[in-house]
Structure 1
Amino acid sequence: MSEQSIRYLIIPGWNGSPAEHWQSHWQRVLPNSIRVEQGDWQYPQKTHWVEQLHQVIAEDSRPAVLIAHSLGCITVAHWAAHAPKHLINRVLGALLVAPADVERLNCPEPLRNFAPIPSAKLPFPSQLIGSDNDSAASPQRALQLAHDWGSEASILRGVGHINVSSGHSRWEQGFSHLYRLQRQLEQGGLKRA
């Protein structure tokens, strides 16, 4: 898979990804990468976030790899549940990092409009990376989302929400998950649903 022939769509979660966040670092170093910007990072609205992702995918016909974090993962699932086939086919695969369980009891109020979380298999290959101590989603919940979405799952130890607060500003180790996804896409190891 030629990195020059694809684009990487960086899909942040609630409050965006500041300059010191690993998604911002990845955007600076990955070729052909762009951030899916949202109009309101603090008070996200599901319909607006999904529409913005839709527009970014629609505006460029090159194949894309989605790199989502937290609420961005849930945005991807909502988009995939209703997107037209010709746009679904532009997505090669998705790396879903620390998905936010917007159905949990202690979910912050601004995120609750993203519930319920779609439970259909994603129509493209995906890998879900969770944590055994993420306050946004328990490891059991992350594994359930991975099962529902048809994602390969990895639960990392002691990495929190995989964000700046948990010490992941560059998250160089995360590239191994992205490269693994790309190798599997090249080898046809992950099949579309």
Structure 2
Amino acid sequence: MSEQKLNILVLPGYQNSGVGHWQTLWEALDPAFARVQMPDWDHPVRDAWCRTLDAAVATADAPVAFAAHSLGCLTAAFWASHYASAAQLAKVAGALLVAVPDPSEPHFPRDASGFAPMPLTRLPFATIVVASSDDPYGGVPFSQTCANAWGSRWIDIGARGHINADSGLGDWDEGRRWLASVVARG
């Protein structure tokens, strides 16, 4: 990703990211990418997920960046606005936030707890929000609202569903370039 050591914390969403998902492929391609293992992938609780992320940032031996998908995006936003100390936030070089889900959408997992209302305050590190025009979990207006509030660059990649393994992105080189660009800005 860069010449300076950087830990890329992979933040999957609800039920984790499986085989064929761009996050899983990125981890296989580059040892700088490490998945944050959440306590319960099938019954996410915001407090537990944010505390787990906080511990991962605390133990990182170099600056970190987030490669977040779906509920991982909400976790990063809540962590930054409600959980992280100034010292922890200073370690974050940037974040790629892909397929931000809307907790008010009917498809949002009902067994996810504490992820609403969304924090809509500026995030203290560089971010890019990537959206799909036909994402059943978060529409374009919601992702634009989040991007505007968070101070993020917003990118619409067209009709790609939930931007997951079913979207046919493979190892998604374009996403890796966007992650590198947001880290360079940070």
> TM-score, structure 1 length as denominator?
0.89
- Segments of 5+ residues of structure 2 without an aligned counterpart are none
Aligned equivalent of 2:172: 171
The equivalent of 1:113 in structure 2 is 114
> What SS does structure 1 have at the residue aligned with 2:10?
strand
Q: Does structure 2 conserve the Cα–Cα contact (< 8 Å) formed by 1:102 and 1:111?
A: no
CA drift of 1:4 comes to 4.6
The residue matched to 1:87 in structure 2 has which SS?
helix
Distance 1:38 1:67 in 2: 15
8 Å contact 1:163–1:169 — kept in the other structure?
no
- Distance in 2 (CA, whole Å) between partners of 1:155 and 1:29 is 25
Cα deviation 1:57-83 (Å, max 9, x = unaligned)? 001241011110000000001100121
Per the alignment, residue 157 of structure 1 pairs with: 158
- Structure 1 residues 59 and 143, CA gap change in structure 2 (3 angstroms): same
Q: CA deviation at 1:112?
A: 4.9
TM-score (norm. length: structure 2): 0.93
Structure 1 vs Structure 2 CA RMSD: 1.6
**Partner Cα separation in structure 1 for residue 57 and residue 42 of structure 2:** 23
Counterpart contact for 2:73–2:100, Cα < 8 Å: yes
**Paired residues, number:** 185
Give the unaligned 5+ runs of structure 1: 186-193
Counterpart for residue 137 of structure 1: 138
Q: 2:28, 2:184 → 1: CA distance? A: 22
Q: Matched residues, percent identical?
A: 35
Runs of 4+ aligned structure 1 residues displaced above 6 Å come to none
Cα distance 1:172–1:86, how it changes in 2: closer, same or farther (>3 A)? same
Counterparts of 1:1-193 in structure 2 under 5 Å? 2-82=2-82, 83-185=84-186
Task: Tell me if the contact between 1:61 and 1:90 (Cα under 8 Å) persists in the aligned partners.
Answer: no
Specify the alignment match of 1:188 in structure 2: none
